[in-house]
Structure 1
Amino acid sequence: MKTATLLLFVLLLLTSHQLLAQTLVKGQVKDPDGQPIIGANVMLKGAYDGASTDAAGSFSFKTKSTGTQALVISYLGYITLEKSVNLDQPLAHLALVLKPDYRQLQAVQISAGAFEASDEKRAALLNSRDIVTTAGAAADIMGAINALPGTQKVGEEGKLFVRGGDSYETKTFIDGLPVANPYNASVPDVPARGRFSPFLFSGMAFSSGGYSAEYGQALSSALLLQSQDLAEESQTGISLMSVGASLSRTKRWENTSLAVSGEYTNLQPYMSLVPQRQDWIKMPETKSGSVVFRQKTSATGMFKLYGTYASSDFSLIQDDINAPETPTQINLSNQNLFLNSTYEEVFQEKWTLQTGTTYTYTNLDITAGTTDVNTGTHTWNGKAVVIRDLGHAVTLRTGLETQLSNYDQTYQQDPETETRHGLVKEQNIAGFAEADVYLGSKLVARPGLRFEQSQFLSKHALSPRLALAYQAGKDGQVSFAYGHFYQTPEQDYLKYQQPLTFEKAVHYILNYQRTFGKRTLRVEGYHKQYQNLIRYNAPELQNATQITNGGHGYARGVEFFFRDQETIKKGDYWISYSFLDSKRLYKGYPELARPSFASTHNVNLVYKQMIDPIKTYVGTTFSYTSGRPFHNPNQEGFMQGRTRNYLDLSLNASYLTTVKGHSVILHGSCSNLLGFNNVFGYRYASTPGQDGQFAAQPILPSAKRFALVALLISIND
Structure 2
Amino acid sequence: MKTFTLLSFLLLLTSGVTKAQSLLQGQVQDEAGQPVIGANVYLKGLYDGASTDETGHFKFTSKQTGPQTLVISFLGFSTLEREIDLTQPQSSLRFTLKPDYRQLQMVQISAGAFEASDEKRSALLTSRDIVTTAGATADIMGAINTLPGTQKVGEEGKLFVRGGDSYETRTFIDGLLVANPYNASVPDVPSRGRFSPFLFTGMAFSSGGYSAEYGQALSSALLLQSQDLAEESQTGISLMSVGASLSRTKRWANTSLAISGEYNNLRPYMALVPQRQKWLHMPESRAGSVVFRQKTSKTGMLKFYGTYTTSHLALEQLDLDHPTKAIAVGLQNQNLFLNTTYEEVIREKWTLQTGFTYTYNQEDIAAGEAQVNTGTHTWNAKAVMIRDLGHAVTLRTGLETQQKNYRQLYEETPAAQPRHGLVDDQNLAAFAEADVYLGQKLVARPGLRLERSSFLNQQALSPRLAVAYQLHRAGQVSFAYGHFYQTPENDYLKYHQSLRFERATHYILNYQRTANKRTLRVEGYYKSYQNLVRYNALQLQNATDFNSQGHGYARGVEVFWRDQKSIRHGDYWVSYSLLNTKRLYKGFPEEARPSFASTHNVSLVYKQMVNPIKTYVGTTFSYTSGRPYHNPNQEGFQQNTTKNYLDLSLNASFLTSIKGHSTILHASCTNLLGFNNVFGYRYSTSPDAQGQFAVQPIVPGAKRFALLALLISVNDGKKESAK
TM-score (norm 2): 0.86
Deviations 1:102-156 (CA, angstroms, capped at 9, x unpaired): 3354711011000011123111011210001000000100000000000000000
How far apart are the structure 2 equivalents of 1:99 and 1:508?
34
- The alpha-carbon deviation at position 544 of structure 1 amounts to 1.6
Is 1:510 matched up with 2:516? no
- The alpha-carbon deviation at position 686 of structure 1 amounts to 1.9
Counterparts of 1:69-218 in structure 2, within 5 Å, are 77=76, 101-105=100-104, 107-218=106-217
8 Å CA contact 1:213, 1:450 repeated in 2: yes
SS class of match (1:269): helix
Deviations 1:615-646 (CA, angstroms, capped at 9, x unpaired): 00000000000000000112221001000000
- The alpha-carbon deviation at position 78 of structure 1 amounts to 6.0
How far apart are the structure 2 equivalents of 1:681 and 1:538?
19
Counterparts of 1:263-662 in structure 2, within 5 Å, are 263-662=262-661
**Match of 1:223?**
222
Q: Structure 1's 392 and 261: CA in aligned 2 closer, same or farther, altered over 3 A?
A: same
**Match of 2:93?**
none
- The alpha-carbon deviation at position 275 of structure 1 amounts to 0.7
- The alpha-carbon deviation at position 100 of structure 1 amounts to 5.0
- The alpha-carbon deviation at position 77 of structure 1 amounts to 4.6
- The alpha-carbon deviation at position 79 of structure 1 amounts to 7.1
8 Å CA contact 1:108, 1:470 repeated in 2: yes
Counterparts of 1:215-254 in structure 2, within 5 Å, are 215-254=214-253
How far apart are the structure 1 equivalents of 2:667 and 2:300?
40
After the TM superposition, which of the residue ranges 633-642 and 209-218 deviates more from structure 2? 633-642
Deviations 1:196-247 (CA, angstroms, capped at 9, x unpaired): 0111111110000010000000010000001000001000111111011111
How far apart are the structure 2 equivalents of 1:79 and 1:248?
45
**Match of 1:55?**
none
SS class of match (2:131): helix
How far apart are the structure 2 equivalents of 1:538 and 1:76?
62
Q: What's the C-alpha RMSD, in Å, of the aligned pairs?
A: 1.8
- The alpha-carbon deviation at position 35 of structure 1 amounts to 5.6
| Rg (Cα) greater in structure | 2
Q: Structure 1's 36 and 716: CA in aligned 2 closer, same or farther, altered over 3 A?
A: farther
Letter of the aligned partner of 1:561 in structure 2?
F
How far apart are the structure 2 equivalents of 1:201 and 1:242?
25
Deviations 1:439-473 (CA, angstroms, capped at 9, x unpaired): 11111110000000000010000000000000011
SS class of match (1:545): coil
Q: Structure 1's 76 and 363: CA in aligned 2 closer, same or farther, altered over 3 A?
A: farther
- The alpha-carbon deviation at position 168 of structure 1 amounts to 0.5
8 Å CA contact 1:76, 1:107 repeated in 2: no
SS class of match (1:464): strand
- The alpha-carbon deviation at position 76 of structure 1 amounts to 8.9
How far apart are the structure 1 equivalents of 2:396 and 2:662?
44
- The alpha-carbon deviation at position 663 of structure 1 amounts to 1.4
- The alpha-carbon deviation at position 570 of structure 1 amounts to 1.4
**Match of 1:686?**
685
8 Å CA contact 1:119, 1:202 repeated in 2: yes
Q: Structure 1's 80 and 305: CA in aligned 2 closer, same or farther, altered over 3 A?
A: farther
Gaps of 5+ in 1: 1-30, 38-73, 82-97
SS class of match (1:359): strand
8 Å CA contact 2:99, 2:391 repeated in 1: no
Q: Structure 1's 415 and 76: CA in aligned 2 closer, same or farther, altered over 3 A?
A: farther
TM-score (norm 1): 0.87
**Match of 1:7?**
none
- The alpha-carbon deviation at position 688 of structure 1 amounts to 2.3
8 Å CA contact 2:117, 2:126 repeated in 1: yes
Q: Structure 1's 76 and 201: CA in aligned 2 closer, same or farther, altered over 3 A?
A: farther
8 Å CA contact 1:103, 1:441 repeated in 2: no
How far apart are the structure 1 equivalents of 2:455 and 2:249?
43
How far apart are the structure 2 equivalents of 1:475 and 1:194?
35
How far apart are the structure 1 equivalents of 2:503 and 2:444?
24
SS class of match (2:512): strand
8 Å CA contact 1:648, 1:672 repeated in 2: yes
SS class of match (2:620): strand
SS class of match (1:107): coil
How far apart are the structure 1 equivalents of 2:666 and 2:104?
44
- The alpha-carbon deviation at position 693 of structure 1 amounts to 2.4
**Match of 1:4?**
none
How far apart are the structure 2 equivalents of 1:252 and 1:591?
60
Letter of the aligned partner of 1:306 in structure 2?
Y
